[in-house]
Amino acid sequence: MNTNENGSVNYSNENNIGTIEFYHPKGNSLPGALLRKLADTIEKAGKDENNRVIVLRSNGDSAFCAGASFDELSDISNLEEGKHFFMGFAHVINAMRTCPKFIITRVHGKTVGGGIGIIAASDFVIAKQGADIRLSELELGIGPFVVGPAVGRKVGMSAFSTLGIDATTWYSSDWAYQKGLYNKMAQTTAELDILVKKLSENLAKSNPDAMQNMKDIYWQSTGHWDATLEQRAEISGRLILSEFSRKYLEKVKT
């Protein structure tokens, strides 16, 4: 078991497949430093000529990602700090968007908040039955602003608004699959690993130029996201300082 209290991001490469694994002891949540390391690692993997496809996964067998670190959110004291934190998610989403290689994401468990943005920014997602989702930002007093472009692009505005407005409800993995957030489903962890292995091995044998051109087409009309996500990060950074959010964070920490 990984015992790193600050979390970790690890990158490895084998047989033209690059694997990125992130971990945090609190449900694979994502503090700012971990978000930035994850974005940097995605950029590194995208430039690595030794891989043709990237597999993104998290450690353990519980949650895939618990979203933003509440401990760090509680420590934010001004707009600059708030914007800086939420820019961490913006950097990860943009790194995934501009990565010249397909990113396959393996989702083994439940996902909350910003983690759904990471799933939505993936090129192909294989999930295990029971990997339910909840877009919890409104409950916290903010909104799914930074992840919004990625989630809306993947599932459509109707499904995105359903998740964003109904912020206290868990939506099932079947719902996520039907809406297009997940591309393939597995019944067990063993099947999940088989499906990820099969697809990544097939892509590792495919023409890298063809795949890069395909990815460019799939992500066309998103060139404005650098500026858009920065604006959204500022909105979230301002709202996390609100009395509503402060009271909510105090309540969940006690």
pLDDT per residue as tens digits for the range 16-46: 999 999 999 999 999 999 999 999 999 999 9
Sign of CA dihedral 248, 107, 56, 229: negative
Sign of CA dihedral 75, 78, 82, 84: negative
**Which domain does 29 fall in, by range?**
8-204
Q: pLDDT of 82-119, one tens digit each? A: 999 999 999 999 999 999 999 999 999 999 999 999 99
Q: Per the domain annotation, does 121 fall within a domain? A: yes
Residue pair 48/39 in contact (Cβ under 8 Å)? The answer is no
Distance of CA 239 to the CA centre of its chain: 21
Residues 67 and 237: their CA atoms lie apart, in Å, by 15
Q: Per the domain annotation, does 183 fall within a domain? A: yes
Q: Per the domain annotation, does 220 fall within a domain? A: no
Q: Per the domain annotation, does 222 fall within a domain? A: no
Q: Per the domain annotation, does 232 fall within a domain? A: no
Is 80 exceeded by the pLDDT of residue 1? no
- Structural domains counted in the chain: 1
Query: In this structure, what CATH number is given to the domain that contains residue 159?
Result: 3.90.226.10
Give me the amino acid identity at 99.
Answer: C
Q: Per the domain annotation, does 107 fall within a domain? A: yes
Provide the token pair at 43.
Answer: 């950029």
Q: What is the pTM of this model?
A: 0.95
Q: Per the domain annotation, does 250 fall within a domain? A: no
Q: pLDDT of 217-253, one tens digit each? A: 999 999 999 999 999 999 999 999 999 999 999 988 7
Strand segments (E) across the chain: 8-14, 17-23, 53-58, 103-107, 111-112, 124-128, 133-134, 184-186
- Look at the block and give the residue holding tokens 């079947």: 174
Q: Per the domain annotation, does 139 fall within a domain? A: yes
